[in-house]
Every structure is written in structure tokens, then in C-alpha cells.
Amino acid sequence: MAAPDKQPTKEMVRDVGSGSSSRDEELGEMASMKNNELKKALKNRHLQMIAMGGAIGAGLFIGSGKALSAGGPGSILICYAIIGVMMLFTCQALAELAVVYPSNGAFFEHCLRFLDPTWGFAIGWGYALTWMIILPFELVAASITIRYWNDSISMGVWVTVFLVTLSLIQIFGVRGYGEVESVLSIIKIMACTGFIILGIIINCGGVGDQGKLGTKYWVEPGAFRNGFEGFASVFVIASFSFGGTELAGLAAAESERPEKSVPKACKQVFWRICFFYVLNLFIMGLILRSDDPRLLGSGAIDTKASPFVLAIQDAGIQVLPHIMNGVITIAVISVANSSTFGFTRTVQAMATVGMAPKYLAKIDEQGRPMRCTIVLILFSMIAYIGLAPSDAGMQLFEWLLALTGVAYFFIWGSICLCHIRFRKAMKIQGLSLDLIPYKPSCGVWGSWIALTLNGLCLMASFYVCANPKPGATAAQTVEGFFKGYLAAPVMIILWLAWKVRTGSWRLQTPLHEIDLRTDAKFINPADVNREPEKQKSLPRRVLGALF
């Protein structure tokens, strides 16, 4: 039966199990700090658009160019499809947890409940730091895209314009975030759809003087480049391209009807992966050579190196490259907007349970975590350092971005592990799965598959970062490794730091001690059909996960 809508007390926390008194006091203090809630203003259409186009950004429009150059069109097709499957199962697991426990911090609070408070601390700060660092980088990136049209105006002007715009959006709270993301997502979806149609026309020789291309570029220079190292590099790039997919689950606490909208939004991930990533990149690989030197670009964000822009330019179309550059600018701004949402909600939830400064737990009368927003906006002014004439500013950005590196793999893997342990705890504590409002058709096996794929991603990232580049010195190899893999030791340091602070050294919360009832939105047992459900065939179970 659903728990009453009241905040947990110390007595309720102690009823969870027979854990140590120090942990009881810690959890009791966390529970007693709860304050007013975020405003539930996200409608179903907001979540659908956030799920469909929210994470489409520079990773697709620009990063895919480096992936094409590194591994070829065959590697792109395979790697993006594999990571897409991983994200589908991860989002399905997150949907089940978010419907039962629609909390402000989503997977951060799920880690506190199902894994261990210490790991929850590491995941929460790892996720918050990722968005905190990405935001100023995206401001610089958006300013760089403007230079495609006009490089006479200082980029500092555009950084200011974008920063002020983001600040104004925050005044309207989560509703403003939802509306802006809906509009920007529609533009990105239309651009992806238009490119697919245009790419087919170009491939068939309907535009330009290249003639019919067919699978010409799959034969020469070939479908795969640079052997296994090239394939592993694409695997890593593809993984980073899906960052932000988990935001639909984070928004559950501010959704009007999370039990309906969150599962539907997470199911949209499959179609976004198939249509906007796999199909787009497949067509891009048909109409652009993977050995084109222009794909290497001159920086982290170089719209002139975007494979989408290059393919349109090669077809001799004059106006569309400008339109595509505008779409890339919009995509970068969209990611910046998502950064604000991801950081503020995570830090507010952490402050609520005592893992961040208590000052940041405050939510204003309009249901906005404005104190967290102010902190983020102030930190984002570091973007101006990236505009310095010397290389020192960009060097700083590179090391800050290194803190985000493989953090997503720990986050996604933790979501899957939370789902696995949630199901195990339900079984051990004698609770029926019929109490769960939404269950992924692939069940816990999807989480096991996604968890395994996350492990493979970590190994592939380690291989790419540790493998010496041709002509690189030992110092350059070490520097390259830490710039790509620094997030892993940082996560471990965060985990150890909270272990030392709390003095709790057990690795995980025992399954019988996991609190499954507090704040749970279970189905009323009286409404559950007691007749055993017939086991569906595998094809029907798979289709059920997608529709």
C-alpha cells in the first residue's frame, strides 16, 4: 500500500532494520531536513519532447565527425546501436524506480536507498560536477558557432547574451525549462528528419554533381578504420553522445503524473536512438568519406568540422549549411539549459539530506531551487576564462572537462544496479511485484545487460586513454590518460571521503535493511488482480518495452 504523504521521522528510519546507531542518526538527520517540494509543473508533452530531443546536441552534430574519422561508418553504426540498447534498458530501469519513488534527486536518492549512502554521495556530486562544468563549456561552444557567420564580434559578448538568456529562463522555473526544451527539441527533430531526407536524395544523385553514391564510401576508404583501437574510440565517443538521456527520470518529481508520463517518455528513447542517431549517422556515412581531413577540425567545438555541414557543402547547397549551423547553435543552447536543470535538482536534493551545504536546500514559494541556480550562474562565469588569448584558458577547460569523462558510465551503471537490488529486496522482504505501477517488459534482465555494457564502456575508455598515441612522449601519454579517465579516480576519492567522514565502511546496505516503504507509490493491494499473469512470449515482451 502506498506510504502516506508525510516526511519520514527518525523513528520511521530506525524501523528499516538493525543497522548501526551511527547510520540511524545519519539517516534520521537526512530525513528531518526535508522542506517544501519542487513545483509539479511538467506536463506529459514536456517529458515526451525532453525524452525525444533533449540530449541531441553537439555529440551528434559535431562529435560524430570525429567518430567517423576514427572508426569509419561501420564502427559508427555498430557502436551507436550497442550504446543505444544500453541506454534503452537503463532508461527502462530508471522509469520503474522513478514511478515508485519520484524523488527530487531521482537516481541519487535511489543510490542512497538501494546501494549505500556513501556511493550515493559520490554519484550525486559526480553528476552535479558534470553539469556544472559542462555549462560554461557549452556557453563558449555556442559563442564559437556564431563565428561561422561573424568573427568580428568578441565571443565574450555572445557568452554574456547566452548566460543572461539562461538566467531569464530560470525565472519561469521548471515550466520554463519544459517549454524551452519542447521548442528546441522540435527544431532539432525537424533538422534531423530533414537531413535524413536530404541525405537520401544526395546519395541517389539528386543533388550536386557527385552522382549516385550508394555504398561507395563503405568500399573505399572502407567501413572500418584503425582496427580495434578505432572501434574502441567510436565506442567511447558514442557513449558520451547519449549524456543527458537520464534527465527524463530526474524530472519525475516535477511531473504532474509521473506514473503515466515517465514510462512513456523513457520508451521514446528507443525511437530517438533508432531514428535520430543510428539512421542519421548511417546516411551520413554513405555521403561523406571517413578519411576526409576536414573531420578532424581545429577544436572541441568546430562547426566547420560537423559532418552534417560538410555533407551539405559537398552537395553544393548554398543556404542549408547556415541553417544547419543554426541548428547546432540551438542544440548547444539546449544542452546548456539541461545543464542548469540537472545541476540544480541534484544539488538541492543532496542539500536536503545533508550531503551539500544546507543553504542550497531552500526552494522558493514558486517551487524553484533559486539558490542552486545562483551558484551555478556564478560558476558559469568561468566561461570568460576560456576566451583568453593564450592557451591557458582552454587548458583549464580541458582539465575541468576531464572531471566529467567517464562519470556517466558510473551513473548509468548505478541506475541499473539500483534496479537489480530493488527487485532483490522486494523478493527478500516478501513484497509482490504486482505492487509496482510500471514494470519494464524485459524486467531485471535488461538492467543486467545494460550494467554489463557499462562495464565494457569503462574498459574501452581505459584502453583508448592508456594506449600511447603514435609519436607521443611518456609525459604526453600520461597527460592524455588523466584527461580522459580522471573522473574515475575522482569518483573513488568522493566515495572514500564520505566513508571517512561517516565512519561507515560496509560496501552496501543489506537487502533486508533497505527501506522499501517510505515515500513509495505502490499500487493499493486491494486494486491488484490476484490472478497470476500469463507469461508473455519474448517478442511480445520486447514490443511491450517499446510501445
pLDDT digits (tens, 9 = 90+) for 71-107: 889 988 888 888 888 888 998 898 888 888 877 777 8
Higher pLDDT among residues 5 and 136, named by residue: 136
What are the tens digits of pLDDT across the range 112-145?
A: 899 988 999 999 999 988 888 888 888 887 887 8
Mean pLDDT confidence for 484-505: 87
- Domain membership of residue 518 (yes or no) is yes
The mean pLDDT value for 303-323 works out to 81
Higher local confidence (pLDDT), 82 or 471:
82
CB-facing half-sphere around the CA of 379: CA atoms within 13 A: 21
* Percent of the chain scoring above 90 in pLDDT: 8
Average confidence score pLDDT of the chain = 78
Least confident of 154-168, 244-258, 267-281: 244-258
List b or e across 480-517, with b for residues whose CB sees 16 or more CB atoms inside 10 angstroms.
bbeebbbbbebbeebbeebbeeeebeeeebebeebbbb
Burial class from Cβ neighbours inside 10 Å (0-12, 13-18, 19+) for residue 171 reads exposed
pLDDT at 12: 35
Instruction: Give residue-wise pLDDT tens across range 415-425.
Output: 999 999 999 99
In the chain, the number of structural domains is: 1
Question: Is pLDDT above 70 for 390?
Answer: no
Residue 188: all three cell numbers together = 532539432
Instruction: Flag whether 97 is in a domain.
Output: yes
Beta-carbon contacts of residue 205 (< 8 Å; ≥ 6 apart):
211, 212, 213
Does residue 537 have a pLDDT over 80? no
Answer whether residue 16 is part of any domain: no
Is residue 146 scored above 80 in pLDDT?
yes
Any domain includes 107? yes
Cell numbers at residue 546, please? Answer: 517499446
Per-residue pLDDT, 413? 92
Beta-bridged to residue 255, according to DSSP, are 42
Quick one: how many helices (H) and strands (E) in the chain?
A: 23, 0
**Whether the predicted pLDDT of 25 surpasses 60:** no
pLDDT at 152: 79
CATH number at residue 276: 1.20.1740.10
Output the pLDDT for position 6: 40
* 370 within a domain of the structure (yes/no): yes
Residue entry with cell 565527425: 65
Between 7 and 237, whose confidence is greater? 237
Looking at the domain assignment, is residue 21 inside a domain? no
Tell me: pLDDT of 486 over 60. yes
pLDDT of 5: 40
Which helix (H) or strand (E) is 223 found in, with range? none
Classify residue 23 by its DSSP letter: H
CB–CB of 125/351 below 8 Å? no
What pLDDT was estimated at residue 41? 63
Residue 480 counted as domain residue? no
Least confident interval from 230-239, 249-258, 485-494: 249-258
Among 32-36, 337-341, 433-437, 476-480, the range scoring the smallest mean pLDDT is 32-36
User: Is 478 within a domain?
Assistant: no
Please report the sign of the dihedral spanned by the C-alpha atoms of residue 244, residue 467, residue 63, residue 457. Answer: negative
Looking at residue 253, what is its pLDDT? Answer: 65
Range of the domain at 238: 33-468+490-546
